[in-house]
Amino acid sequence: MGNVIKKNIIHGIFNDEVPLIEACKKMRKKGIRIKDVFSPMPIHGIDPIIGVPRTRLAICAFIYGITGTSLATLMMWYMMISDWPNDIGGKPNWAYYFNVPAFIPITFECTVLCAAHGMALTYLLRCWLLPGVRAKNPDPRTTDDKFMIYLELNDEQSAVAESIMKECGAEEVNYKGVKEIQPAY
């Protein structure tokens, strides 16, 4: 089976975001990895403090937008040239397709439609906000008025993290059990 790594699950509960941010900064300076932070409101600037990498959602939005642009172009080509060609003024069918200003509104609307719907679905799937899925929030008080640091640490780091959180004004520091992790070889 191999060696099993045991990590202590620790919750640090705070009354305000200022001491939470201070505790996060001190723990990161000591080399402690913060698994997650839960709060009842957005805390602007917390991502770089706890070590969350920059999101790649903008790349997804660009891909969805390009998909919408391509579908709009394909749809207009199919409707005006392939499916129902019209002879207007003796001009060939493809000449109307190069009348770009006439097609900008349709192209723009399809781009926005695909980008918006794609991003909404991506957000729901990425955050696992689907019907029937149990919430991953470990303490329901964080949806009301409490702030929480969620840690998974070994025994040596647990004592350091606990002292830092208490020093910064944590209301509670709770040990929630042990998580066993199989190392990947």
Determine the structural domain holding residue 116 and report its residue range.
68-126
**Is the residue at 152 inside a domain?**
yes
pLDDT more than 70, % of the chain = 91
Binned at pLDDT 50, 70 and 90, residue 72 comes out as very high
What is the rounded CA–CA span in Å between residue 185 and residue 181? 12
How far apart, in Å, are the Cα atoms of 124 and each of 53, 102, 135, 144? 19, 35, 13, 22
**Is the residue at 60 inside a domain?**
no
* Domain-ending residue, one of 126, 146, 161: 126
State how many domains the chain has: 2
Mean pLDDT of 56-75: 95
Nearest to 168 by CA among 145, 142, 147, 141: 147
* Domain-ending residue, one of 126, 148, 167: 126
**Is the residue at 77 inside a domain?**
yes
What is the rounded CA–CA span in Å between residue 165 and residue 174? 11
**Is the residue at 116 inside a domain?**
yes
What is the rounded CA–CA span in Å between residue 116 and residue 86? 34
| Helices marked H in the chain | 17-29, 46-50, 57-77, 93-97, 100-126, 155-167
Binned at pLDDT 50, 70 and 90, residue 7 comes out as confident
121 and 141 share one domain: no
Binned at pLDDT 50, 70 and 90, residue 107 comes out as very high
**Is the residue at 82 inside a domain?**
yes
Longest CA span, the chain: 84
13 and 49 share one domain: yes
**Is the residue at 131 inside a domain?**
no
**Is the residue at 19 inside a domain?**
yes
Strand-pair category, 147-153 with 172-181: unpaired
**Is the residue at 33 inside a domain?**
yes
At 40 the pLDDT is: 94
Residue with tokens 């149990």: 134
94 and 142 share one domain: no
32 or 136, greater pLDDT: 32
Mean pLDDT of 6-10: 88
The CATH number of the domain where 27 resides is what?
3.30.70.260
At 42 the pLDDT is: 93
Structure tokens at 104: 């900008």
At 155 the pLDDT is: 85
Listed in order, strand segments (DSSP E) in 4-146 are 5-14, 36-38
